[in-house]
Amino acid sequence: MTTGNWMKGMVAGFVATVVLSGLMAIKAMMGVMPELNPIKMVADMLGASPAVGWAMHSMIGTVLWGTLFAWLNTSLPGESHWLRGIVFAVGAWLIMMVAIMPMAGAGFFGSHLGMMAPVMTLMLHIVFGFVLGAVYVLERPEDTSALQGART
């Protein structure tokens, strides 16, 4: 992965995180599933304020997921970047369901939050992944697939 690609991944991760955050704010304003509050979960896990929860949410989406997507992009299945983004985000969702949710006290797949928690979070991750891949391709990342094949 080139330096330019991981920077493009972070930009795409930032845009996708902003879109996801907007959807989460709309969900909260509408009173939809108030028990599903990932920002509060992160803040509580850290013993910190909601502002720290938002900051961590932003850093994870921008730095961790954006960079990791740029690195894995050519290895992900799918013909289009937006589809690869969705595949990637479903993987991130699985990590959240089996690791983060139990650590936050919400149970495996958020089972303590009700049946809709995994469905709602999956839908939000699909939107995140779509935006991640769509923005990433608009930035015209360098094709590193030929470089990766030459190294193996």
Q: Convert the pLDDT of each residue in 13-64 to its tens digit.
A: 999 999 999 999 999 999 998 888 889 889 998 999 999 999 999 999 999 9
- Return the percentage of the chain with pLDDT > 90, whole number: 70
pLDDT at residue 76 greater than cutoff 90? yes
Q: Can you give the residue ranges of every domain in the chain?
A: 3-141
Helix axes of 3-30 and 50-59: crossing angle, nearest 10 degrees: 140
Q: Cα–Cα distance between 78 and 85 in angstroms, integer?
A: 9
Model pLDDT, residue 54: 94
DSSP string, 87-116: HHHHHHHHHIIIIIHHHTTS-GGGGGG-TH
Phi, psi of 140 (to 5 degrees): 55, 65
pLDDT computed for residue 150 by the predictor: 42
Mean pLDDT lowest among 2-11, 14-23, 107-116, 132-141:
2-11
Mean pLDDT for the stretch of residues 117-141: 95
* Token output for 117: 């928690």
- Give the torsion sign (CA, 84, 89, 92, 97): negative
Tell if the pTM clears 0.85, that is, is over it.
yes
34 secondary structure, DSSP code: T
Amino acid at 138: L
How far apart are alpha carbons 150 and 142 in whole angstroms? 15
Helix pair 3-30, 116-138: axis angle to 10 deg: 140
Contact 33, 117 (CB under 8 A): yes
pLDDT of 152 reads: 39
